[in-house]
Chains A and B, each alone.
Chain A
Amino acid sequence: MVNEHKLPPVGELAILTMTLVVSGGIYMAAHIPDDVPTLLPTALTVIAALVLAVNVFMLSRVKRFAWPIFRQVAGWSLVGYGVISGLLLWVFIRDAIPNDVMTLLTASLVIFAVNIPLHFGFAVARYQPVES
């Protein structure tokens, strides 16, 4: 049995999180190498982290769900997108980006690396049969 209709809006919130993180990243990248005003990207990153936390909490409350498939997809996605985030982080560190901006970029990449596996795992597991 697939319980799609009972599930929280994990996909929608994951896309919102992604949009917030990407917007903050674009704003910062558009200012580098000049001084980056950090107020807006900080606000976007904090909101993204909150939305992600709410999303994880809501999904964790779901009892009847194809958790083994979710863990399989999310786990492998975490490996893949962890590598991509790590590469980006390494390049930013090499380019000696200022500390305050670097902190924000690191936070954004961590949110990205957690949010994408959550989204992929949910997108697959929602259509999988639930073990009784």
Chain B
Amino acid sequence: MEHTQTITGAPPLAHEGAPAVPSFEIIPVKAIPLVALAIAGLVAAIVSEELWALEFAHVVAGGLWTGIDLFVGLIIGPILGRLSPQGRVEFSTRFMPKMVLLMPTLVAITLVAGWSLANHTGDIAVAYPDHWWLTASFIVVGIMSVIALGFLEPANLAVLFELKKPQPNPELIGRLMRRFVYASGITGIMQLATLIIMTRIATW
């Protein structure tokens, strides 16, 4: 049974009542076996030392990471900003818990498989100046990690916990959501650099 919580502290709305928060899980527990399966697949790919398996893990996880970052930052973010408070709450309670599990999994698989792949193909041993492309990818990933782990993910979690309160603070949620959307936008734009670097390395 779905139960709702009314945000009594919400500012007055012209055409609708105060946003109601649907029941939701902060961590979608049912998806944890899928995460474990993905990690097991990654370990199997590394142990097998099969080029295809490593390439698959890196390209699929990296492609999804890049695509989701771009899509959320540049498409979903601006749409979210124009939704009604009720729409934002409905969307956030369904969307953000999934991101809590999905993004760290994709990032971990991309990085671990990428490092193993670069060792397997010998790309890691390429001399400078070509090695600068690899170094550039490390720098871009490093900056994105600091933004994602320093700003985006904490804002995501804080919003979800705030929405679980009997009386969530709409002002705080708005502030944290803005941080989430801006951080997503910045990482989305930085993913364009990743696309350039990775396609360059892939065509050496």
Contact = CB atoms under 8 A, between A and B. Distances in A.
A53 to B, nearest CB: 19
Interface in B98-140: 104, 108, 111-112, 115-116, 119, 124-125, 131, 134-135, 138-139
A120 B153 contact: yes
A14 B146 CA distance: 10
Nearest to A123: B154
From A91, A92, A119, name the one whose CB has the most chain B CB atoms within 10 angstroms.
Answer: A91
Q: How large is the interface on B (under 10, 10 to 19, 20 to 34, 35 or more residues)?
A: 35 or more
Given A84-B104, A87-B108, A88-B111, A119 B149 contact: yes
A77 to B, nearest CB: 9
A88 B112 contact: yes
Given A83-B39, A120-B157, A127-B162, A33 B125 contact: yes
B112 A91 contact: yes
B150 interface: yes
B11 interface: no
B138 A30 contact: yes
A23 B146 CA distance: 10
Contacts of A84: 104, 108
Contacts of B139: 26
Contacts of B108: 83-84, 87
20 contacts: A15-B150, A15-B151, A18-B150, A22-B146, A26-B139, A32-B124, A83-B39, A87-B39, A91-B112, A91-B116, A94-B46, A95-B115, A95-B119, A116-B149, A123-B155, A124-B161, A127-B158, A127-B161, A127-B162, A127-B169
Interface of B: 27, 39, 42-43, 46, 104, 108, 111-112, 115-116, 119, 124-125, 131, 134-135, 138-139, 142, 145-146, 149-151, 153-155, 157-158, 161-162, 165, 169, 172
